[in-house]
Structure 1
Amino acid sequence: MRNISDVIEQYLKQVIEKNEQALIEVKRSELANRFDCVPSQINYVIRTRFTEEKGYVVESKRGGGGYIRIIKIEFDHRGDLYDQLIEMIGVSLPQQAAENIILRLLEEEAVTDREAKLMKSVIDREVLTIPLPARDQFRARLMTAMIRTLKYKMSNE
């Protein structure tokens, strides 16, 4: 059985998919009532499942008329996706952020399931057995190199 966080995430993604503008505005309290949970559960889902690495921008306005706006980042050209990911990676990349980027590449159909598994195996902390912060810096260089290779492959097709 799926947990409540998975259910809320699926619901929000379905609503975004149905919306022509790839964005939605929701009220935290209304979502909490809909799923019979506390508003902090909604915060958790949005904070962990709708991140920039996963292709979302979240805006929030607090107060009585407050809302949460979730925007799905879409690109006309796959090269723009690769450029945005490379810029986002920077010089240091924790494992969870790297896994989120790989998941996004998979969801955007920029990599196959097999390629995603290979990428995940390379960036895993059990493979990169060097101390922090060098491990996160090395992971960033590996991810950048893999994404540049994907971009290069795409431009030659």
Structure 2
Amino acid sequence: MGISDLIASFLQESLEEAENGVLEVQRSDLAQRFNCVPSQINYVMSTRFSPERGYIVESRRGGNGYIRITRVQMDHQTLLMHVINSLGDEVDLASVRAILSNLVQSGTLEENMGRALLAAVGDKALAAVPRDKRDHVRAAILKQVLILQVQ
């Protein structure tokens, strides 16, 4: 089991024990506990505790910085709108993979739609687009297709 899995398991167990479904932890305490850099904690937060997986993560950096994880239940429409609104003007292929994987795992997107969308925004499909513009085009396509899924 890798360090990310250990951190995620610890946080999941702690969240289950939390009274009101809210867990607040110090990033530096977690990094020290697992003998890792704080960016490893950030990685776990973004990949394992994302809105697509039913979590809201609030973070404050600095000396008294904290991470607050809240487990929420969202219907598929709300989740899709949250993902659409959180996408910036650009998104890299690795992020698209994670977003689509999470949406499929949550049952928000059918698996075949997730695979088709990944193919549509992949580097092979965007080969005619200059590399420095691909992430921008990728984000635009992803947003438009997800908007169609909301209706």
Normalised by the size of structure 1, how large is the TM-score?
0.71
Show the counterpart of 1:79: 77
Q: Which moved more, 1:112-121 or 1:138-147?
A: 112-121
Task: Name the CA shift for 1:146/1:49 in 2 (closer, same or farther; >3 Å).
Answer: farther
Show the counterpart of 1:93: 91
Q: Distance in 1 between matches of 2:16 and 2:124?
A: 36
Show the counterpart of 1:155: none
Q: Identity across aligned pairs (percent)?
A: 21
- 2:91 alignment partner, SS class: coil
Normalised by the size of structure 2, how large is the TM-score?
0.73
Q: Report if the CA contact (8 A) 1:8-1:45 is conserved.
A: no
Q: Deviations over 1:94-113 (max 9, x none)?
A: 22222232133124320233
The answer to whether structure 1 residue 121 and structure 2 residue 116 are counterparts is no
Q: Report if the CA contact (8 A) 2:7-2:41 is conserved.
A: no
Show the counterpart of 1:11: 10
The answer to whether structure 1 residue 148 and structure 2 residue 143 are counterparts is no
Q: CA deviation at 1:61?
A: 4.9
Gapped regions of structure 1 (runs ≥ 5): 153-157
Task: Name the CA shift for 1:3/1:73 in 2 (closer, same or farther; >3 Å).
Answer: same
Task: Name the CA shift for 1:78/1:71 in 2 (closer, same or farther; >3 Å).
Answer: same
Show the counterpart of 1:57: 57
Q: Report if the CA contact (8 A) 1:23-1:69 is conserved.
A: no
Q: Report if the CA contact (8 A) 2:25-2:66 is conserved.
A: yes
Task: Name the CA shift for 1:91/1:14 in 2 (closer, same or farther; >3 Å).
Answer: same
Cα root mean square deviation, aligned: 2.9
Q: CA deviation at 1:118?
A: 2.8
Q: Distance in 2 between matches of 1:95 and 1:59?
A: 25
1:118 maps to a residue whose letter is A
Count of matched residue pairs:
145
Q: Distance in 1 between matches of 2:146 and 2:19?
A: 29
Runs of 4+ in 1 over 6 A off after TM superposition: none
1:46 maps to a residue whose letter is I
Q: Deviations over 1:120-145 (max 9, x none)?
A: 23222233222233211211122112
Q: Distance in 2 between matches of 1:146 and 1:72?
A: 28
Q: Distance in 2 between matches of 1:17 and 1:149?
A: 35
Task: Name the CA shift for 1:31/1:51 in 2 (closer, same or farther; >3 Å).
Answer: closer
